[in-house]
Every structure is written in C-alpha cells, then in structure tokens.
Amino acid sequence: MNNPSGPVKRSVTIAGHRTSLSLEPEFWDALNQLAAARNLSLAGLVAAIDEARGQTNLSSALRVEILRATRAGEI
C-alpha cells in the first residue's frame, strides 16, 4: 500500500469568496476527475458540494462526495 501524502492546502473561490481547503493529493486528483466527469470546473464542483453540505466541514464533505462518486462508478 502506498503511503498517502500529507494534506495540501489550495485556495478556491466559492460564491465570490476565496477559501482555503486542505486535502491529500490523492483527493485533489479525485476531485479533478469528478469535476471533469460532471463537466464542471473544480470551483464549480466545490461550490455545488459546499451548497449541499449543511453543517459538515467542507473538506470532509468533499471527501465523502468523492467516496460516493467512486462507489457509484462515476470516477
């Protein structure tokens, strides 16, 4: 099993506001794949997940959405 790398912080603009997200590189890769599969920009995908997440931490909501998409065969 590969050792996952530590989290990488990146900034994304959501609803006109910059926000920083910390995800492991493997999750950033999967997030980019999911955005492409849904014909969205990365910022568009993150904004859609942000809008639907409720009180959940955004980084956690992104990881869960990646897991759901993986299980569904979307990515």
Q: What is the pLDDT of residue 5?
A: 78
Handedness of CA 6, 27, 67, 4 (dihedral sign): negative
Number of residues that this document lists for the chain = 75
Q: What is the pLDDT of residue 4?
A: 67
Q: What is the pLDDT of residue 1?
A: 55
Identify the segments of the chain with pLDDT beneath 70. 1-4
Q: What is the pLDDT of residue 61?
A: 98
Domains of the chain, each with CATH number or no CATH: 8-71 (1.10.3990.20)
Q: What is the pLDDT of residue 2?
A: 62
